[in-house]
Amino acid sequence: MKKTIFRGIATALITPTDENGVNYDQLGRLIDWQIAEGVDALVVCGTTGEASTLTDEEHRRVISYSVERSAGRVPVIAGTGSNETDYALALTKSACESGADAVLVVTPYYNKATQKGLIRMYNTIADASEKPVILYNVPSRTGVNIEPATYEALAEHENIVAIKEANGNLSKIVETMARVRGKLDLYSGNDDQIVPIMAMGGIGCISVLSNVIPAQTREICTRFFNGDIAGSAELQCKYYKLIEALFCEVNPIPVKAAMSALGFCENYFRLPLTPMEEVNYARLLDAMRELGLTP
């Protein structure tokens, strides 16, 4: 029987940075607050964590620091994917040595691998990993989509345990679940599809939204799991305006702006990312104010 890493909400955590590098004091405060708010797991060095602009040393240290700071209170899932398989293997082995509970491996961006290439790459990483592997499919960013038949093939590997699905295509997700039911856990990778994906057997979400409202995002799942489907859907709709604002520019620009407004970090980015346009920032603050989140 494959291990379920978490059930509910895992926050795809931002990485606080400033002109001096990663701000570990802010990261530690953020980790403590997220856990106190009741999230079920943390994902570090993913898309939202700006892994693509972290140095190799920073990437490894953020993972080890997060594991140490979390101190077993919740599972820590480390983003270790790359478009170069040997580097993904090295990051994966490092994350395992640091004590991460699982690794999240994105499809190889830019290469535009074939489905055969995806199967070989994921099996190679899963063979080498000491911890469970979560597949991360986000074709809008990587240029490659994991097809349902590919999920079916990968589900046979004992160390591949789950999917973070952000392809946005509910019909493909239905086909995937028909092919892999019972062999892979499914998590939504899109905050606007938490309830629809749970309706298809998903067991939670790896969430950007929960950076800002962790307890409230988790409540979407809690209501669903408790049989209050209407209540869960009501919350999905209640937070839709904030979700839209958090994705009105490329992630993680808006969520980092939101967390800066809440006092958790600097609104600082490394190029090519830049701060939000003023009109979009005003839209984000308006959505936050409607939920009572800003002064």
- Encode pLDDT of 55-67 as tens digits: 999 999 999 999 9
CB of 246 closer than 8 Å to CB of 26: no
Nearest to 250 by CA among 150, 94, 141, 122: 141
- Residue-wise pLDDT for 15-33, tens only, equals 999 999 999 999 999 999 9
Q: Give Cα separations from 133 to 3, 72, 158, 273, 280 (angstroms).
A: 10, 19, 9, 28, 36
E strands along 142-199, which residues? 160-165, 185-188
Residue 294: band (very low, low, confident or very high) from pLDDT cuts 50, 70, 90: confident
Predicted confidence at residue 295, as pLDDT, reads 59
Q: Which residues pair with 103 in a beta bridge?
A: 78, 133
Query: What number is the average pLDDT over the span 219-248?
Result: 97
Q: Which CATH number, 3.90.1210.10, 3.20.20.70, 3.10.50.40, 3.30.565.10, labels domain 8-229?
A: 3.20.20.70
Predicted confidence at residue 181, as pLDDT, reads 85
Cβ-based neighbours of 200, under 8 Å, separated by 6 or more = 170, 173, 174, 177, 186
d(CA 232, CA 125): 36
pTM, whole model, 2 decimals? 0.95
Sign of the Cα pseudo-torsion (202, 204, 209, 211, in order): negative
Cβ-based neighbours of 31, under 8 Å, separated by 6 or more = 13, 42, 66, 69, 70
Query: Pick the catalytic residue: 131, 151, 164, 256?
Result: 164
Is the pLDDT at 1 greater than 70? The verdict is no
Is the pLDDT at 127 greater than 80? The verdict is yes
Nearest to 43 by CA among 7, 87, 74, 88: 74
Q: In 3-state terms, the chain is what percent helix, strand and coil (to 5)?
A: 50, 15, 35
Is the pLDDT at 211 greater than 90? The verdict is yes
- Residue-wise pLDDT for 139-166, tens only, equals 999 999 999 999 999 999 999 999 999 9
φ/ψ (deg, to 5) at 185: -75, 150
Q: Is 136 a catalytic residue?
A: yes
Is the pLDDT at 88 greater than 80? The verdict is yes
Query: Pick the catalytic residue: 122, 136, 239, 281?
Result: 136
Q: Which helix (H) or strand (E) covers residue 41, if one does?
A: strand 41-44
Q: In the chain, what are the domain boundaries?
A: 8-229
Query: What number is the average pLDDT over the span 181-190?
Result: 94
Is the pLDDT at 269 greater than 80? The verdict is yes
β-bridge pairing 160-165 and 133-137: parallel
Query: What number is the average pLDDT over the span 164-177?
Result: 94
Nearest to 6 by CA among 30, 40, 37, 38: 40
State the chain's maximal CA–CA distance in angstroms.
Answer: 52
Predicted confidence at residue 2, as pLDDT, reads 84
